[in-house]
Structure 1
Amino acid sequence: MSFPERLSLPLTIIVFCLAAFGGGEAACPEVTLTREVLNDGFHRDLISKMELGAIIEHTADCRVMIKERLPSGLYVDPYQLASMQQHNVTEVLILDSIDVEAPEYLSMEHTLFVYAKPDPKCAGCFSAVVPIHIRYHQPSEEREEALVILPSPQLLVRCKTDLLLEMCHMHLEDAPCSVRDKTACHWTDVTFKPVPEVVLQVPVGLKQHGFMVCTVTILVTLFCSVMIFAAVWKHGQF
């Protein structure tokens, strides 16, 4: 082997090591996140799919969590999530108290910790389904709809080794270990390809229709009350 050939092998190894461990974000495997909202009306399903790419090739037994910040116009039902968790459909941890009956203008934003599940059909892929609900908004003067914007989430990964942190030069963040274990664990904040914000359209009433709506509601309520009273009087036993 000639001297240039003998020199090329060590140089190749050095360049590879520098690219893998000293190249910053450029050396980090590309992570993709796609989001989709299904169904119509006030009850939707937020589907998130992550593909970690080459990360899984370097680490084993990784867990993926999505940190969502729901605006005041959206909420999740804790009882519905608990039922889905019992059937192993989804795992969502909520640390804030949620009033499912409150309208948008009396609510605050809250944070969700969504623990994604691995996709058996795709290596290094994870997915999560979260049912979200839209709150009622105040009537408007002119517009018949309002916009609710769901910002881009934060993607956290936790593995048994620190190789991911060394490869990508990312920072750690403390977050609950799991739905059942709320103690803080070290998660790696993973950057991913930018995704557009999720924008939901919400129908709202017009203020000038307030008198008509109230009048019709009162009349229908009185009519139904009279019909119920008449049925009880005719068929009831006193």
Structure 2
Amino acid sequence: MHSKRINKCLLLTFVVCLLGGAGNCYVPIEPPIVHVEMDKAGMHRTLNYRLRFDIPLVGKDCEYMLLQDLPASIYISTDELDDLQRLKRLNAIYPKFVNIEVATERAQPFSVLLRGTPKITESLALPVHFRYHAPSDKRSAATVAIPLPELYLNCPMADSALIENDLVARPDKLYCLNAPESRFDENHVKDGQPTTMANLERCNWRRVHVDCQLKMPLRAEIPVGQANAYGPVLCGTILLGWSLALWTIIHSMANTRRINQRLNEQRLLQQKVK
């Protein structure tokens, strides 16, 4: 009997909150959950994200950006991402040009922004590729670690209360979307800067806490060539190249002699027939 009374009280409290007492029934919004997983092997892999937002953020006119920093040892194919965007399988902001041929030691890190609207669950996929490292005489493999993503939210002024201080990583900071550089910059209001709606929307982003869950660490072991093997490999390559060239010349001359011999035999046969 006592437990039944407790259940009735809880149910009555819930109904009162729904019918008009919600202002007195504060329920904090849970931080978004981001599950990240990467393919296990190969130089060409995919970062798979599964996002989950709390119900109060779903169905609003809010927008999120998942910022993924990528180290210099990783590159993206802009043509590949362009095709995915054209097929509406990806909505992202990324550099317009990425040099895919340069080695890790001469490359620069960059970031990619994955964009969307908060849903209860959503899956995203970002194809990435690993660069080769310069040869070394001290190691045979290089460990590449991918940092955890950051999440930014932008809600209209009417729904700005949804992004509570407990949810925000830096309550005193607003961020501006820097699309050409695919990153966020701190919002520093300058004297004389117009307060247009476009500026307000572009600089109304907040970085929020996120519960990032990993099945395995975001690390990869990339093979590194041996610097001491450069000389023997170069000599072997030259010898192999010359050997193939000589074999091709000798084989071509033998074929030419065989063809000429057959032509001479046909001429002699035609002369005998006449």
Does residue 162 of the first structure (1) align with residue 160 of the second (2)?
A: yes
Secondary structure of 1:162's match? helix
- Which residue, out of 121, 126, 133, partners 1:125? 121
Which protein shows a greater Rg?
A: 2
Matched-pair contact (CA < 8 Å) for 2:175–2:204 = yes
Instruction: For 1:188-203, list aligned pairs within 5 A.
Output: 188-195=206-213, 198-203=218-223
- TM-score, normalization: structure 1? 0.73
How has the CA–CA distance of structure 1 residues 84 and 210 changed in structure 2, closer, same or farther, with 3 Å as cutoff?
same
Please list the CA deviations of residues 173-227 of structure 1 after superposition, one character each: whole Å capped at 9, or x if unmatched. 2225799x9x935323221124455111101112222222222333344455567
Q: Take 2:250 and 2:42, find their aligned partners in 1: how far apart are those partners?
A: 36
Higher helix share: 2
Unpaired runs of 5+ in structure 2?
A: 1-12, 183-197, 257-274
- TM-score, normalization: structure 2? 0.64
- Which amino acid is 1:150 matched to? I
Does residue 72 of the first structure (1) align with residue 72 of the second (2)?
A: yes
The corresponding residue for 1:6 is none
The corresponding residue for 1:24 is none
Please list the CA deviations of residues 101-135 of structure 1 after superposition, one character each: whole Å capped at 9, or x if unmatched. 100000111111122577xxxx5112211111111
Matched-pair contact (CA < 8 Å) for 1:39–1:45 = no
Unpaired runs of 5+ in structure 1?
A: 1-8, 21-26
How has the CA–CA distance of structure 1 residues 52 and 227 changed in structure 2, closer, same or farther, with 3 Å as cutoff?
farther
- Post-superposition shift, 1:168? 4.0
How has the CA–CA distance of structure 1 residues 223 and 190 changed in structure 2, closer, same or farther, with 3 Å as cutoff?
farther
How has the CA–CA distance of structure 1 residues 229 and 63 changed in structure 2, closer, same or farther, with 3 Å as cutoff?
farther
- What percentage of aligned pairs have identical amino acids? 20
Matched-pair contact (CA < 8 Å) for 2:150–2:210 = no
State the superposition RMSD in angstroms: 3.6
Higher strand share: 1
Q: Take 2:71 and 2:84, find their aligned partners in 1: how far apart are those partners?
A: 22
Q: Take 2:25 and 2:251, find their aligned partners in 1: how far apart are those partners?
A: 84
Instruction: Give the length in aligned residue pairs.
Output: 213
- Post-superposition shift, 1:15? 10
How has the CA–CA distance of structure 1 residues 194 and 37 changed in structure 2, closer, same or farther, with 3 Å as cutoff?
closer
Q: Take 2:114 and 2:64, find their aligned partners in 1: how far apart are those partners?
A: 9
